[in-house]
Chains A and B, each alone.
Chain A
Amino acid sequence: MLDLINKTISEGPLVTAFAFVGLVILISNFLGKHATGGRVAGSAIAVLAGLALAWVGGAITGKAKGLADIAQFSGLALMGGAMMRDFTIVATASEVRVEEAKKAGWLGFIALVLGTILPFIVGVGVAYAYGHRDAVTLTTIGTGAITYIVGPITGAAIGASSDVIALSIATGVVKAILVMIFTPVFARFMHLNNPQAAMVFGGLAGTVSGVSAGLAATDRRLVPYGALVATFHTGFGCLLGPSVLFLGAKAVFG
């Protein structure tokens, strides 16, 4: 009997993922409504539950893809992979009201510039405080604080060692997860309640995964506006990282 269930589940990984995620969201919505009296959005609990499950998966398998590394849940990797994430983000554009987006296009750009430079400065500062002094290491860790893709791409371009690149990726992953968890918590503080604010948030908070999950957990209707800007974040960071930012770090730290 157990074998039969196991075989069925293993042969339809994506369908299993649909059913499983549906169950997670069902439970999360129930908890949101009844355990927190509607104060915490069901989707915020669902994202947290996803992260907790990823921790369980990683702890069991010792691999990098969370719950998806367990064979029965491998469909989650496809369902939650970059392709489906980007495909559904594009679909949310059908809800964008053009007048709203136009109002803040220039603001989005300013946010994008700040969202690239500020994390870099913080990352470089922390690495410096921990005794790193060469420009390559500082730049690689600093760009990791922008997103976990900008870090390794910059590191590879300027010849950083693999342990520094690993540290840079870890920095970006930690940041993405912090953004996912704390965006709904600090939404009121950030005045994250209108389309233009979401665009500013998308540019400054960076990392598509962090922004998309954070906004989903805050207010689903803000997602397309934040995503519209955030999707430029990685490309912009990869443009500045090995060039302007590296040269800047080199000028300051030799």
Chain B
Amino acid sequence: MVILGTALLAACYLAGIAVGEGIALLIGVKANVGGVGIAMMLLIACLHVLQKRGIYAPDMEKGVTFWAAMYIPVVVAMASTQNVIVAVRSGPIALISAAGSFAVCMLFISLINRVIERAHIASAPLAADSK
């Protein structure tokens, strides 16, 4: 049943967020600590177990993959609700520190990614997107 997949996804989401809140409470932080990441790992683990036992039915899978496919539309909706006006009107401090920090981070990303490619820590580049 399709709903079982979606329900499993929802359960992982809720459990992950709850654990993230718990960690935040424990270390005294006012924001969820990695709840979504923990939910992702839970889902990976659950799917692994289901597949191993051979009870991950194709229509259950649909209940998960549909939402994964909805990801880009959701991101487009998210983009359309950003406070772009504030971003455009913000003074030089906001603009320069935002652009500066992204630029510095990009340099480091580029550097690290070149190093891990040389050291063969990174996998081969993904094949060209077929879609």
Contacts and interface: CB of A to CB of B under 8 A. Distances in A.
Interface of A: 17-18, 21-22, 24-25, 43, 46-51, 53-55, 57-59, 62, 64-68, 73, 76-77, 79-81, 84-96, 98, 100, 103-104, 107, 110-111, 114-115, 118-119, 122-123, 125-127, 130, 141-142, 144-146, 149-150, 153, 156-157, 167, 169-180, 182, 186, 189-197, 200-201, 204-206, 208-209, 212-213, 216, 219-224, 227-229, 231-232, 234-236, 238-239
Contact of A122 (B31, B39, B101, B114): B101
B2 to A, nearest CB: 13
Contact of A200 (B82, B93, B116, B126): B116
Which bucket holds chain B's interface residue count? 35 or more
B85 A68 contact: no
5 closest Cβ contacts across the A-B interface? A50-B79, A80-B77, A235-B33, A119-B101, A80-B78
Interface in B1-22: 9-10, 12-13, 16-17, 20
Contact of B122 (A53, A182, A197): A197
A239 B28 CA distance: 8
B78 A209 contact: yes
Contacts of B49: none
30 contacts: A18-B73, A25-B76, A50-B76, A53-B80, A55-B85, A66-B80, A79-B77, A80-B75, A80-B78, A84-B77, A86-B13, A88-B70, A88-B71, A89-B40, A91-B64, A96-B44, A123-B97, A123-B100, A126-B100, A127-B97, A170-B87, A171-B94, A173-B83, A178-B98, A180-B79, A186-B106, A190-B106, A191-B117, A194-B122, A196-B123
Given A195-B123, A204-B105, A223-B71, A238 B30 contact: yes
User: A interface, by DSSP: helix, strand, loop or mixed?
Assistant: helix
A174 B94 contact: yes
Most chain A beta-carbon neighbours within 10 Å: one of B27, B102, B122: B102
A226 B34 CA distance: 13
B86 A193 contact: no
Interface of B: 9-10, 12-13, 16-17, 20, 23-24, 27, 29-37, 39-41, 43-44, 47-48, 61, 64-68, 70-88, 90-102, 104-106, 108-110, 112-114, 116-117, 121-126, 129
Contacts of A178: 98-99, 102
A130 B92 contact: yes
A60 to B, nearest CB: 10
B81 A77 contact: yes
A90 B43 contact: yes
Given A196-B116, A205-B109, A235-B31, A90 B9 contact: yes
B96 to A, nearest CB: 5
Given A67-B81, A123-B101, A171-B90, 16 more contacts: A24-B76, A47-B75, A54-B80, A55-B85, A76-B81, A77-B81, A80-B77, A80-B81, A87-B9, A118-B108, A170-B91, A190-B110, A209-B82, A220-B72, A227-B37, A235-B32
